[in-house]
Structure 1
Amino acid sequence: MKIITFSLHTQQPLLATSFQGDPNSDVSYSFIPGSMIRGAIIGRYMKQHQLSELDLSNDTVKHLFFDAKSTRYLNAYLLSQDGNRTLPVPRSWFKDKDAEVTDDSTIWVYDFSLDRGDDLENSKFVGEYFCTEEGSCVRFYKEKRRINIHNQRDRKQGRSTQIKRDPQTKQLKGEGEIFRYEAIDAGQTFQAVILCKEADAAFLKKLLHKSQDLWLGGSQSAGYGHTKISEINCHDAWDEVSIPIEDRIDRESFTITLLSDMVLRDEWGQYAVIPPSAQHQVPVPLIEELKKILGVELQSKRSFTSSTLVGGFNRKWGLPLPQVPAFTAGSVFVFENISLTSEQIQQLETQGIGERRVEGFGRVVVNWLEENHFQVYPKPTKSTSQPTLKQETSRTLAAHMAERLLHKKLEQLLQKQIGRLAIQGNISNSQLSRLQLVARQALATGNCDLVLSLLDNLPANAKGQFEKAKIGTGKDSLKQKLDEWLRTPMSWISNPQDLTVKIADIERSITDEFAINNKLVEKYTLRLIMAVAKKAMKEEI
């Protein structure tokens, strides 16, 4: 079996919707599900073969996308600073109740699956993190998230409409509901893995190489889901944990740790989340599955589990998949020690347990760690020393990167200003439209004099409207504020020192030669005027 690994860099927030939050919110998983990656590759396969839908009777389609014995698409987890794929924290890891996981201190963690001990009086689960072994220490990682607020809009009018009750039908009409999206933030790197047959590896790599750009998740038309593929590699041997199987055979107990969610059915065919128990000898789906794979009897000692609901979305149907209960990733099951060979452990870890294994469910590791307590270290901080770039191509690339980051900072500042500024008073939409039109004409060259000329040559009626209207919370009229912005474009930027970006020894700011030659501040000032005028026109409608 071949293993294909590749990195996914989030260029935009990514919404891999889970079943968390209230009905008017979408909360993303902390990882990129394997089902989402499989769906994106199916899309590339269909585009390459010019198909409108998949032929499920085709043997190639079956073993590439729907047969867990042939191909499996694993979840993409965060990449550590050392370039390793992190894994979900086991639910048997506990800490002192008052100990906090921070970026600048270490904490002691105790593995209760090995020894409960007496050192920890007030224990608490460490929390939902990803972890990795880096040398002789364990480090925790947490994905960054972004929360955006959206409101439902009328498709024809392009804005939300007031919700009213129809007097005849008594039904509510109109748009305007508020939605909250909590997505994986941009600027993060995840590692995805595909397990496949050797004959399929070259074809799947070709599909991945087709384009660097890959769109994943929901709300793609609203600025979500853009990722870039890189570092596509093929391996003959690969393990999700760094400990060789031979070193995990001789242990006091037989321990199963879930590296992804696991879906099981009981003997009656119902989805069930029943943890094994030493006290209650009831049929447990997990033990029955392990018996089929390993061919041995198992006696449970203890379990550290949690459950969740999993679903998905079927693009063929255009409908969500049924919600089913599952054991969450990180759940730990401890059994009495049994005699296993390295081949049996390899088969169990490669095959996985339960249903939907083609989508990355049911990944397990046997006898993972053997330290009953250890220290967790914060993420290593990056060095603050800036290297000197000697080659001209490197300096040019660093300059482009710094310029893009400077633009990003200006965009963020612009959005904040637009959010807090509002025009108050009676000013007609025709005057605002004329202001917006002239500012757009001046935007190409950054020539603020065009807008100043408009304001200086206004007819008496229009001039009166600009002078009577107010903007923001101050006492300045709209005309005074526009004059101030246009004659002194830096005046609306409160902390210009924060708008400095440095890549290696290349620095960019809004006062340097690059910004002056490109009239950067003037152009963003004109954009601010356009946005404020547009906002006032929309609020007037």
Structure 2
Amino acid sequence: MHKCIQFDIQALEPLKLGKFERDSNNEYSYSYIPGSVVKGAVAWGLVEEKGFVPKEILNGSSIFYNAYPLLDGNPAIPMMQGYMGDKQEIRSNKDNVRVVHSFNRKIENSIPLNNYEFVVKDAENEKLLLGYNPGKIENLHINKKDALNDSSKLKMFRYEAIRKGECFRAYIRVPEEHYDDIVKILSKDYIYFGGSRGSGYGKCRVTGIKEVSAVCLYESDLDIKEDLYIYFLSDAILYYDGKVNTYIPENELKEMLGIEGKCEYVESYSGLGVAASYNTLYRTNTVCYTAVLKGSVIKYRVEGKINPDRIKKLASEGVGLRREDGYGQIAVLGKIQDDMVVSRYRKNDIVEKSDIELTDEDKRVVNMILCNIFKTRSKLQIEKMVIELLKDVNRPQESLQSQIGKLLNIFQNGFYQTEDDFRKYLNEYLEHIRKKKGKAVWHKLYDFTVANTLDKFRSERLSIQKMLEDFVQNKFNSVFREIENIVNKGITLGIYKYPVESQKAQVLHNLKMDFFISFFEYCLRMKEKEVIS
């Protein structure tokens, strides 16, 4: 007899759950807690308590399921692959995306939705899925152990880890005689999962420990008549007939479900990865297998009614190798839900209170950092604005390059003058052009126009002449309003913001100067009659 334990895990420290994929300077982490990691933590606890690990824990009699994210008390599951949505909505990472499954029908201009690793069903709307990706961090470390006798081996490397504060729902299926021992281990104040415990990783708190009648990550359909789908709720090593398969062979599936009629593989939407464990004693990976990734779905066509008890048994036992480590968990479905909406799950970040008080020097450094970030971002925004303006340009018939070059030099040197002095100087220069005999240059500045489509509610053509006059007279036009919006938005970090009210006027003036410099520089790069596209 077996008993099933359900419990929740809260990460008090980042969790380093190393993947097989890595390079010389980076080690990557799973975004969930694999069953093998849960198994290792329990085995270590049993050694501390009893001095040994019972064979029933290690020989496959017990099953340690993957621990997936827990969202507002609801356990998430891997998102089923094959859902397709509008290309623009997915690439723009919209909060809500309508999807259909590629097995059912196709839609034009669609691509697979791979934005989320996990989903959870909305409690009120069965057509709504909430997508979620657990938060991760990256920390730099220095390897000193291998450099004790050889400094050339000293190197830096990066650990990827799940951020602290994430919660997971886990299950264990154990022989009845070991139930109490495992509950005792899980009931400790703290338990460690994953690697690098000595470097500040892995500390967790286990709560909500209780016995459940069975483990069911996703309800299987019991009334299957024609189409049959295998939905993989974890990675699976499909090792049959002496080789690894990318789907369950028809003859194996017929035997598992007792299908008397035809069973035919139709198609699949799946991904492949590597399944490998790690031997700490020998510091190496064990045998590596190709595995079908969680979220994959395979379609079969069957004849004849399938016994519901056989479906329950297959969904409970799983398929393939290493089921005791959480591999091979599946759901058997008769149809796939369609016309779904996938919405981004909003999780409030954990904010820890701190008694740290910043000194005046600390505040000055914070403001300086914010200022530098704002300058970099605003420069990019100004350049994008200029490029948009120059997509639709009307140029005078005669060349204006020489005059644009002079204006560029004036604005570049204007940063060495006060705002009032520069406006006065520029106004005198424009007045000189205006009163010049023939007014040829003045008319050219008027004829050189761009179409401003930055304002969604109003589109207008602006000439260089008007923009210069508005600048001198401190008037607003649609371009200057966009620049003012950049200033008002600023950049915020907690209670700190740049620019503050007392700085906005000067920052706005500087951004207008940057705009004209960038605008004239792009104009000089353009050939006569050329338009930026």
- Normalised by the size of structure 1, how large is the TM-score? 0.61
Is 1:307 the equivalent of 2:307?
A: no
Shift of 1:288: 4.2
Is 1:291 the equivalent of 2:254?
A: yes
Is 1:37 the equivalent of 2:38?
A: yes
Q: Which amino acid in the other structure matches residue 116 of structure 1?
A: R
Secondary structure of 1:406's partner?
A: coil
Contact between 2:224 and 2:334, CA under 8 Å: does it hold in 1?
no
| Structure 2 match to 1:88 | 78
5 Å-filtered alignment, 1:257-296, equals 257-267=231-241, 269-270=242-243, 272-275=244-247, 286-296=249-259
Shift of 1:138: 1.2
Match among 311, 329, 336 for residue 363 of structure 1 = 329
Structure (1 or 2) with the larger CA radius of gyration: 2
CA distance in 2, matches of 1:301, 1:155: 53
Q: Which amino acid in the other structure matches residue 10 of structure 1?
A: A
| Structure 1 match to 2:295 | 330
Shift of 1:100: 2.9
Is 1:65 the equivalent of 2:58?
A: yes
Q: Which amino acid in the other structure matches residue 140 of structure 2?
A: I
Match among 232, 252, 257 for residue 209 of structure 2 = 232
CA distance in 2, matches of 1:248, 1:377: 29
| Structure 2 match to 1:438 | none
| Structure 1 match to 2:433 | none
| Structure 2 match to 1:452 | none
Shift of 1:27: 0.4
Shift of 1:106: 1.1
Q: Which amino acid in the other structure matches residue 77 of structure 1?
A: Y
5 Å-filtered alignment, 1:12-31, equals 12-31=13-32
Contact between 1:4 and 1:195, CA under 8 Å: does it hold in 2?
yes
| Structure 2 match to 1:508 | none
Contact between 2:146 and 2:154, CA under 8 Å: does it hold in 1?
no
Going from structure 1 to structure 2, the CA distance change for 1:288 and 1:206 (only over 3 Å counts) comes to farther
CA distance in 2, matches of 1:147, 1:226: 17
Q: RMSD over aligned Cα, in angstroms?
A: 3.4
Shift of 1:75: 0.4
Is 1:116 the equivalent of 2:105?
A: yes
Is 1:130 the equivalent of 2:78?
A: no
Is 1:97 the equivalent of 2:87?
A: yes
CA distance in 1, matches of 2:255, 2:333: 19
- Normalised by the size of structure 2, how large is the TM-score? 0.62
Contact between 2:228 and 2:334, CA under 8 Å: does it hold in 1?
no
Going from structure 1 to structure 2, the CA distance change for 1:369 and 1:50 (only over 3 Å counts) comes to same
| Structure 2 match to 1:406 | 354
Once the two structures are superposed, residues 256-307 of structure 1 have per-residue CA deviations (whole angstroms, 9 ceiling, x without a partner) of 010001112242x24x2434xxxxxxxxx54343233223352011111111
Secondary structure of 1:147's partner?
A: strand
CA distance in 2, matches of 1:89, 1:408: 41
Once the two structures are superposed, residues 1-31 of structure 1 have per-residue CA deviations (whole angstroms, 9 ceiling, x without a partner) of 4321111111111111113342321000111
CA distance in 2, matches of 1:228, 1:15: 16
Shift of 1:37: 0.5
Is 1:378 the equivalent of 2:376?
A: no
Going from structure 1 to structure 2, the CA distance change for 1:103 and 1:19 (only over 3 Å counts) comes to same
Aligned length: 365
Contact between 2:36 and 2:325, CA under 8 Å: does it hold in 1?
yes
Going from structure 1 to structure 2, the CA distance change for 1:71 and 1:90 (only over 3 Å counts) comes to same
| Structure 2 match to 1:191 | 169
Which consecutive unaligned segments of at least 5 residues does structure 1 have?
Answer: 55-60, 164-172, 276-284, 385-400, 422-493, 500-541
Shift of 1:109: 1.4
Secondary structure of 1:346's partner?
A: helix
* Identity among equivalent pairs (%): 23
Going from structure 1 to structure 2, the CA distance change for 1:94 and 1:103 (only over 3 Å counts) comes to closer
Contact between 2:93 and 2:115, CA under 8 Å: does it hold in 1?
no
CA distance in 2, matches of 1:12, 1:184: 9
CA distance in 2, matches of 1:226, 1:191: 16
Is 1:212 the equivalent of 2:189?
A: yes
Which consecutive unaligned segments of at least 5 residues does structure 2 have?
Answer: 370-491, 498-533
Write 1 or 2 for the structure with the bigger share of strand.
2
CA distance in 2, matches of 1:408, 1:303: 55
Q: Which amino acid in the other structure matches residue 291 of structure 1?
A: K
Going from structure 1 to structure 2, the CA distance change for 1:237 and 1:262 (only over 3 Å counts) comes to closer
